[in-house]
C-alpha cells in the first residue's frame, strides 16, 4: 500500500471514530480529503490509486484506446477509483462533490477524444471512476432480457447472450472491446440496427448513480432522466452501473459476405449506386462499405440463408455481382467475430479479450448523408484515399427500423431521411507532431471537402464518434454555458438538445458531471414545456 494511502486509512479511521462523518482533516489538500472521504465511506484503499501509486499508469492505460490523449501536457486524473460495488461509485460522487474532485466515468475507454480519462483543462481536478469490474452479464433467455454491467464489453455481452440461446442476440456495435457504458449512453449502432434499431433503443431499465450519489432505477429516476441516458452521451447525467437489455430474435443460421471492388472494377459506380440501394434494402439485410486506398469493401449480414440473400442481391444490386461462393452461412455469434476479425473461423473466445488491438493514435469525424453524393465526387475522393497519410471511410446504411423510430423517442435524432452515416477514420502508430498534423489535416481536409454533399443546418454528427472540432464547452457563472454548448450540441442532437439540457437542469443543476462536451443545464429563464 503506498505510504499516502496508509496515512489516509489512519486519518479516515480517526475521522470515522471521532465524528461518524469524514470531516476534512487539517493539512490535507482536496485530493487527499477526497481519498480520506472514500476510505471513510468504506472503499478499500487497494481500489484507490494516485499518481504516486506504482500501478497508476498501468491502470490508467489499461483501456486507453487513443494515444493522442497520452501526453504530458494533458491533465491526468488525481486518482483512479476502481469501484467493485455500487457503494463505491456512490462514494466517489458524494466525496467528489464534497471535496471539489470531479468524476469521469470510464467503462470501455473507447471515447474518440479520451474524455473518460483525460481533461483538456489543465486546472481540472478529477478522478476516473473505472467501471471495468462491473461486467457481469446475466441473461434471462425465457424473457429475452439481460442485465449487463456498464464495464462489460460488447464482446462479453454477445458471448453471454449466445451462450444462453442460439436464437437471441443484442443489436449493438461492431468492435468487441467497446464498453457498454459509453456505447449505450450515446446510441450504439451495428449490423442489426436496420432490423432492431440502436442498442439504446433496446434498453428497458438501468441502475444509475445520480449527482447526489443516490442509486436509482427506471422507476425512481423517472422517464425524463431515463430518456436522456439512452443516447444523450456519456457523463452528463450520472454514472450508469448497469443496463437491462431487451434481447432480439435471430435465426440459428445467418449469412455474411465480403466483396472487394477496386477502382478498376467500378468501385466509384458501385459506391454511387449503393447510396440509394443499401438504405432501402429489406431490414433483415445490412450492406455496409469501407472505402480505403484503391477499393471499396462491401460487407453484408443477412438474417437468413444464402439462397435468399442472393435473390435480394439479384433484385436490388445486380451490379455488385455477389455469387454463392461469396456467402458464408454461420451463427449470429460467429458473425460478430467475422465483422470484428474478418474471419468466421476464429474462436468465439476472442470476444472476451478485453485488451484489443495494438494501441494507436486515432482521429475520426462523422456526417449524415441525406442525398446520394454524385459519382464525380467519389471519383475525386480516390486522390485523398491514395495519399500516404490517408485513413478510411466507413459507410453505415440506415433505413429499416432506424427510419421508423421517431427522432424524439430517444436523444439520438438521426432517423428518417438519413441514408447513411459517413465516418472519416484515421489511425496511426508513429508518435510525434509531424505524423499527428498530417493525419489530422487529412481527416479535417476531406471532411471540409464533403461539406456540400452532407446534412446541413446543422451539419450533423454522431455523438459516439466524438469530435471536439465541433466545439467544446465554456463556463458561465460556474456552470457550462448553454449558449456555447448549443454550437456542438445541436449537431449531435438537433431538436433534442434543449430537452437534454432541461433534464440536466433537473438532474444535475450544479453541473457536477461535466466534460468538454457534456450537456449544460438549461438556464432557468428558458424553461422547457413538458418538464
Ligand atoms: C475501435 C472502435 C470501434 C467503434 N465501433 C462502433 C460501432 O460499431 N458502433 C458505434 O455506435 N460506435 C462505435 N464506436 C464508438 C463507441 O460507441 C464510443 O466510443 C463509446 O462511447 C465507447 O464507450 P466506452 O464505454 O468504451 O468508452 P468510455 O471512453 O469509457 O466512455 C465514453 C464516454 O461515456 C462516459 N461514460 C462511460 N461509462 C459511463 C457510464 N457507465 N455512465 C455514464 N457515462 C459513462 C465517459 O465518461 C465518456 O464521456 C467505436 C469506437 C472505437 C474506438
Ligand atoms: C496533495 O498532497 C499530497 C501529499 O499529501 C501530494 O502528494 C499531492 O501532490 C498534493 N496534490 C495536489 C493536487 O496538490
Ligand atoms: C509521445 O511523445 C510525447 C513527447 O515526447 C510524450 O509526452 C508522450 O508520452 C509520447 N506518447 C507515447 C504514447 O509514447
Ligand atoms: C426500483 O427501485 C425501487 C426502490 O428501490 C424498487 O421498489 C423497485 O422494485 C425497483 N424497480 C425495478 C424494476 O427493479
Ligand atoms: C486493378 O487494380 C489493382 C490494384 O489496384 C490491381 O492489382 C489489379 O491487377 C487491377 N485489375 C485489373 C483488371 O486491371
Ligand atoms: C466556482 O466554483 C469554484 C469551485 O467549484 C469556486 O471556488 C468559485 O468560487 C466559484 N465561482 C463562482 C463565481 O461561483
Atom of ligand 6 nearest to the CA of 477: 13
Least distant ligand from the CA of 267: 5
- How does residue 8 score in pLDDT terms, banded at 50, 70 and 90? low
Q: What is the pLDDT of residues 53-71, one digit of tens each?
A: 999 999 999 888 899 998 8
Neighbours of 23 (CB within 10 A): 13
Instruction: Please say whether the structural domain 137-249 has been given the CATH code 3.40.1280.10.
Output: no
CA 67–ligand 3 middle distance (angstroms): 8
Atom of ligand 4 nearest to the CA of 205: 13
The topology (CATH level 3) of 2-130 is 3.30.43
Q: What is the pLDDT of residues 165-190, one digit of tens each?
A: 999 999 999 999 999 999 999 999 99
Closest by CA to 303, choosing from 193, 459, 207, 453, is 193
Among residues of the chain, what percentage have pLDDT more than 90? 89
Q: Report the DSSP pairing between strands 79-81 and 126-130.
A: parallel
Shortest-distance Cα residue to atom 32 of ligand 1: 182
Q: What is the pLDDT of residues 15-50, one digit of tens each?
A: 443 443 444 445 789 999 999 999 999 999 999 999
pTM higher than 0.85: yes
Shortest-distance Cα residue to atom 51 of ligand 1: 110
Omega before residue 458 within 30° of 0, cis: yes
For ligand 3, is residue 67 a contact (CB within 6 Å)? yes
The predicted structure's pLDDT at residue 5? 58
Shortest-distance Cα residue to atom 8 of ligand 5: 264
The predicted structure's pLDDT at residue 15? 44
The predicted structure's pLDDT at residue 14? 44
Q: What is the pLDDT of residues 256-314, one digit of tens each?
A: 999 999 999 999 999 999 999 999 999 999 999 999 999 999 999 999 999 999 999 99
CA 479–ligand 6 middle distance (angstroms): 9
Q: What is the pLDDT of residues 142-154, one digit of tens each?
A: 999 999 999 999 9
Q: What is the pLDDT of residues 406-450, one digit of tens each?
A: 999 999 999 999 999 999 999 999 999 999 999 999 999 999 999
Domain boundaries, the chain: 2-130, 137-249, 253-330+360-470
CB-based contact 226:207 (threshold 8 Å)? no
Least distant ligand from the CA of 241: 1
Least distant ligand from the CA of 34: 2
Task: Tell me the best of 58, 65, 76, 431 to mutate to test the pocket of ligand 3, counting ligand atoms within 8 Å of each CB and taking the most.
Answer: 431
Atom of ligand 4 nearest to the CA of 217: 1
- List beta partners, residue 262: 295
For ligand 4, is residue 204 a contact (CB within 6 Å)? no
For ligand 3, is residue 431 a contact (CB within 6 Å)? yes
Closest by CA to 459, choosing from 425, 424, 431, is 424
CA 210–ligand 2 middle distance (angstroms): 28
CB-based contact 490:484 (threshold 8 Å)? no
Mean pLDDT of 379-389: 98
Least distant ligand from the CA of 125: 2
Neighbours of 392 (CB within 10 A): 15
The predicted structure's pLDDT at residue 292? 98
The predicted structure's pLDDT at residue 23? 43
CA 256–ligand 6 middle distance (angstroms): 56
Grid cell 458524494 is found at: 94
Instruction: Please say whether the structural domain 253-330+360-470 has been given the CATH code 3.40.190.10.
Output: no
The predicted structure's pLDDT at residue 530? 43
Q: What is the pLDDT of residues 276-291, one digit of tens each?
A: 999 999 999 999 999 9
CB-based contact 268:335 (threshold 8 Å)? no
Mean pLDDT of 474-499: 97
For ligand 3, is residue 71 a contact (CB within 6 Å)? yes
Amino acid at each position: 500500500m503506498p505510504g499516502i494511502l496508509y496515512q489516509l486509512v489512519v486519518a479516515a479511521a480517526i475521522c470515522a471514530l471521532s465524528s461518524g462523518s469524514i470531516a476534512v482533516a487539517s493539512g490535507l489538500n482536496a485530493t487527499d480529503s477526497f481519498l480520506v472521504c472514500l476510505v471513510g465511506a468504506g472503499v478499500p484503499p487497494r481500489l484507490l490509486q494516485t499518481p504516486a501509486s506504482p500501478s497508476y499508469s498501468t491502470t490508467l492505460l489499461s483501456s486507453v484506446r487513443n494515444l493522442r490523449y497520452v501526453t504530458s501536457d494533458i491533465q491526468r486524473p488525481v486518482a483512479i477509483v476502481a469501484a467493485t460495488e455500487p457503494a463505491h461509485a456512490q462514494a466517489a460522487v458524494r466525496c467528489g462533490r464534497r471535496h471539489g474532485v470531479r468524476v469521469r466515468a470510464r467503462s470501455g475507454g473507447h471515447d474518440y477524444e479520451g474524455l473518460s480519462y483525460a481533461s483538456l483543462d489543465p486546472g481540472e481536478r478529477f478522478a476516473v471512476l473505472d467501471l471495468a469490474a462491473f461486467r457481469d452479464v446475466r441473461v434471462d433467455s425465457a424473457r429475452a432480457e439481460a442485465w449487463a454491467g456498464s464495464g462489460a464489453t460488447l464482446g462479453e455481452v454477445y458471448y453471454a447472450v449466445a451462450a444462453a440461446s442460439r436464437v437471441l442476440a443484442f443489436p449493438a456495435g461492431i468492435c468487441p472491446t467497446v464498453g457498454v457504458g459509453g456505447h449505450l449512453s450515446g446510441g450504439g449502432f451495428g449490423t442489426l440496427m436496420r432490423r432492431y434499431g440502436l442498442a439504446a433503443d433496446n434498453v428497458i431499465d438501468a441502475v444509475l448513480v445520480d449527482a447526489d450519489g443516490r442509486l436509482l432505477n427506471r422507476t425512481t429516476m423517472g422517464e425524463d432522466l431515463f430518456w436522456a441516458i439512452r443516447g444523450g452521451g456519456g457523463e452528463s447525467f450520472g454514472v450508469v452501473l448497469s443496463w437491462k437489455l431487451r434481447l432480439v430474435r435471430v435465426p440459428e443460421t445467418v449469412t455474411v459476405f465480403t466483396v472487394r471492388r477496386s477502382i478498376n472494377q467500378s468501385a466509384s459506380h458501385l459506391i454511387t449506386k449503393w447510396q440509394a440501394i443499401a438504405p432501402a434494402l429489406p431490414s433483415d439485410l445490412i450492406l455496409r462499405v469501407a472505402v480505403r486506398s484503391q477499393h471499396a469493401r462491401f460487407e453484408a449480414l443477412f438474417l437468413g440463408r444464402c439462397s435468399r440473400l442472393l435473390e435480394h442481391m439479384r433484385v436490388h444490386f445486380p451490379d455488385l455481382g455477389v455469387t454463392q461462393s461469396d456467402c458464408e452461412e454461420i451463427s449470429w455469434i460467429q458473425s460478430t467475430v467475422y465483422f470484428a476479425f474478418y474471419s468466421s473461423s476464429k474462436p468465439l473466445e476472442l470476444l472476451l479479450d478485453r485488451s484489443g488491438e495494438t494501441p494507436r493514435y486515432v482521429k475520426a469525424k462523422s456526417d449524415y448523408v441525406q442525398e446520394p453524393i454524385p459519382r464525380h465526387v467519389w471519383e475525386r475522393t480516390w486522390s485523398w484515399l491514395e495519399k500516404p497519410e490517408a485513413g478510411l471511410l466507413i459507410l453505415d446504411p440506415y433505413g429499416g427500423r432506424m427510419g421508423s423510430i421517431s427522432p424524439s423517442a430517444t436523444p439520438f435524432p438521426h432517423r428518417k431521411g438519413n441514408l447513411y452515416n459517413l465516418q472519416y477514420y484515421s489511425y496511426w502508430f508513429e508518435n510525434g507532431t509531424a505524423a499527428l498534423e498530417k493525419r489530422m489535416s487529412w481527416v479535417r481536409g476531406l471532411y471540409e471537402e464533403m461539406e456540400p454533399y452532407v446534412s446541413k443546418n446543422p451539419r450533423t454528427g454522431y455523438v459516439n464518434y466524438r469530435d471536439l472540432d465541433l466545439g467544446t464547452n465554456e463556463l458561465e457563472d460556474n456552470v457550462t454555458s448553454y449558449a456555447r454548448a448549443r454550437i456542438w450540441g445541436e449537431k449531435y442532437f438537433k431538436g433534442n438538445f434543449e430537452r437534454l439540457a432541461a433534464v440536466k437542469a433537473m438532474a444535475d443543476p450544479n453541473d457536477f458531471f461535466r466534460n468538454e462536451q457534456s450537456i449544460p443545464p438549461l438556464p432557468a429563464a428558458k424553461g422547457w414545456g413538458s418538464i
